[in-house]
Amino acid sequence: MSKFITYNETLTSAITGGTTYDHRELSGRPEFTGGNTYTTLACGFSGTRFFEGYNFDSLEAVMLSTISGLDILGLGSLNIAVSSDVSSLSYLSGGATISPALTGFFLTQTTTGGIAGTYTLNNYNSMSVTFPMITATGIVDIVPINQAGFATLLTDINTTITIN
């Protein structure tokens, strides 16, 4: 059975007591959970999908990231810049760098939708992403970013969104 150190125990008594304690990692970075099942979208799709996780209430930005910088959303034809090789952001704690660098475009936080896609923070554990019209096939990932770091569907739950 697991034990935790209570507020009235001293560190010395906890270490010398011969008891094993659980190790718990605390993290402030956003994180996706297993409830995200949107792994395939059709070419021509435009709409909203919901994503579950942790620490969404502290987001600074959300990015749609594409593999190899492919413009599967047709943003170039709309004169919307696709950011390539994003390796640093001013709001990352301590000047941390992103490695490997991200490629994609930043969504706008809003509740009204937009031509280039938006995201809405529903609560601490939920956000919705409104995708712009998808014009080609490929792979896309959602990248929520806060001061503590960033998450991807691939790293957190080993999935991406395939566009067929």
3-state secondary structure of 73: coil
pTM of the model: 0.72
If one counts the domains in the chain, the total is 1
**Low-confidence stretches of the chain (pLDDT beneath 70):** 1-26, 37-38, 67-85, 87-88, 94-95, 99, 110-116
Q: How high is the pLDDT of residue 1?
A: 45
Q: Given the structure tokens 């969104």, which residue do they identify?
A: 161
Q: Distance between CA 85 and CA 36 in Å, rounded?
A: 26
Q: How high is the pLDDT of residue 11?
A: 54
Q: Which domain holds residue 52?
A: 28-163
3-state secondary structure of 58: helix
Q: How high is the pLDDT of residue 58?
A: 87
In a domain, 2, yes or no: no
Q: How high is the pLDDT of residue 26?
A: 67
In a domain, 68, yes or no: yes
Q: How high is the pLDDT of residue 23?
A: 58
In a domain, 148, yes or no: yes
In a domain, 23, yes or no: no
In a domain, 42, yes or no: yes
Q: How many CB atoms lie within 10 A of CB 92?
A: 17
**Per-residue pLDDT reduced to its tens digit, 29-67:** 899 987 776 678 888 888 888 999 999 988 888 888 876
Cα 80 to Cα 46, 62, 77, 117, distances in angstroms? 17, 16, 8, 11
What is the enclosing helix (H) or strand (E) of 157?
helix 153-157
Q: Distance between CA 72 and CA 86 in Å, rounded?
A: 18
In a domain, 58, yes or no: yes
In a domain, 1, yes or no: no
Amino acid at 162: T
Cα 115 to Cα 5, 64, 73, distances in angstroms? 52, 14, 11
In a domain, 17, yes or no: no
Amino acid at 146: N
Domain containing residue 114: CATH number: 2.60.40
Eight-class DSSP state of 50: E
